[in-house]
Amino acid sequence: MVARKELECVIAETDGEGITWVTLNRPEKRNAMSPQLHYDMEEVMMEVEVDPDTKVIVLTGAGNSWSAGMDLRDYFRATDGNPGEQFRSFTANRHWSWDILSNSRKPTIAMVNGYCFGGAFIPLCACDIVVTDQDAIYGLSEINWGILPGGIVSKVIVDVMSHRDALFYAMTGRTFDGAKAVEMKLANIAVPGDKLRDETIALARELMEKNPTVLAYTKQAVRAVEGMDTNLAYEYLRAKSQALQFVDQAGTREHGMTEFLDKKTYRPGFSAVKVTKD
């Protein structure tokens, strides 16, 4: 992938290590999501997904905001009389912020650097892990606009937040900060703003130590079993485990066992199995 891809509303940059920073880039509009931003993101997310140099995807925002949600002017009001354009932009939104992001084979980290409102909860919940500025401001503000948390916002919040928290924040529109987001388990880690990037890089590096195939299968497995009963999950996980053994050409499983059982050079649980690239 080119080191830096510049579109109208998004910047994608891959560093030398394998972290691709995808930055929503409408800082003057607090990264409110316009139709053009959705079209740009559709392109970028598919490209980083298939880019061999991208090992970890970090989604963040330019300026003091992660994203102020849907652009009330360009996404809603401007498309009110135009069902064709509305379908195009609503579908592009759903495609990148849910379908592509939540099905990514690579680790996805939301690095929430500031405001996160309304429709921004869709990509927030789609990411695997959320690292947040402890002072970032979150809100399900739809109620204050006379709309309900649409798209798939209501769905993703009940799946990630508790039933009580989802109802409370959707009904009141009250805001909460990053520290509270972690307390509610909507986010994983809250840090002061000046530590946000370093904390995210440390996490990304930790993930890059794992075998990428094992990591992809692990996240797919955890996500897939959520909607299954226990017997179905057992059968699925058995088949998925066997599929992993088949596709992991590095033989991470065998390698780990040999190192631990025979060579005694490795203690699993403390660090990832080191396998030279196949």
Q: Under the rule (CB under 6 A), what is the footprint of ligand V55? A: 70, 90, 93, 118-119, 142, 147, 149-151, 153
Stretch that binds ligand ACO, among 10-18, 110-118, 217-225, 228-236 (CB under 6 A): 110-118
Q: Does the protein bind ligand ACO through residue 119 (CB under 6 A)? A: yes
Residue 73 binding: pick among ligand ACO, ligand V55, none (C-beta 5-8 Å cut-off by kind): ligand ACO
169 interacts with ligand ACO by CB under 6 A:
no
Residue window 20-59: x/- pattern of binding to ligand ACO, with contact defined by CB under 6 A? ---------xx-x---------------------------
* Contact call for residues 211 and 250 (beta carbons, < 8 A): yes
For residue 25, the partner it binds in ligand V55, ligand ACO, none, with Cβ less than 5 to 8 A by kind, is: none
* 145 belongs to the binding site for ligand ACO (CB under 6 A): yes
| CA dihedral (110, 14, 16, 1) positive or negative | positive
CB atoms within 10 A of CB 4: 10
118 binds ligand ACO (CB under 6 A): yes
Helices (H), 140-228: 153-160, 163-172, 178-183, 196-208, 212-225
| Alpha carbon distance 67, 243 (integer Å) | 38
70 binds ligand ACO (CB under 6 A): yes
Query: What are the counts of helices (DSSP H) followed by strands (DSSP E) for the chain?
Result: 11, 11
141 binds ligand ACO (CB under 6 A): yes
For the bound state, the minimum distance from the C-beta of residue 123 to ligand V55, rounded and expressed in Å, comes to 11
Tell me, by CB under 6 A, how many residues bind ligand ACO.
Answer: 17
Least separation in angstroms between residue 240's CB and ligand ACO is 35
Can you tell me the distance from the alpha carbon of 221 to that of 233, in angstroms, rounded to the nearest whole number? 9
Which is closer to ligand V55, CB of 107 or CB of 118? Answer: 118
The nearer residue to ligand ACO, 51 or 74, going by C-beta atoms, is 74
Closer CB to ligand V55, residue 80 or residue 194?
80
Residue 92 CB contacts under 8 Å (≥ 6 apart), including other chains: 35, 38, 39, 41, 42
CA dihedral 139, 227, 216, 205 (to 10 degrees): 30
Phi then psi for 189, rounded to 5 degrees? Answer: -135, 130
219 binds, among ligand V55, ligand ACO, none (CB under 5 to 8 A by kind): none
State the nearest-atom distance from the C-beta of 21 to ligand V55, in Å: 24
Full strand arrangement of the beta sheet holding 4-6: 4-6, 10-14, 19-24, 56-61, 108-112, 129-133, 189-191
Please name which of 188, 209, 189, 195 lies closest in space to residue 18, comparing C-alpha atoms: 209
Q: Which of ligand V55, ligand ACO, none lies near 30, with the C-beta cut-off 5 to 8 A by kind?
A: ligand ACO
Residues that bind ligand ACO (CB under 6 A): 29-30, 32, 65, 68-73, 115, 117-119, 141-142, 145
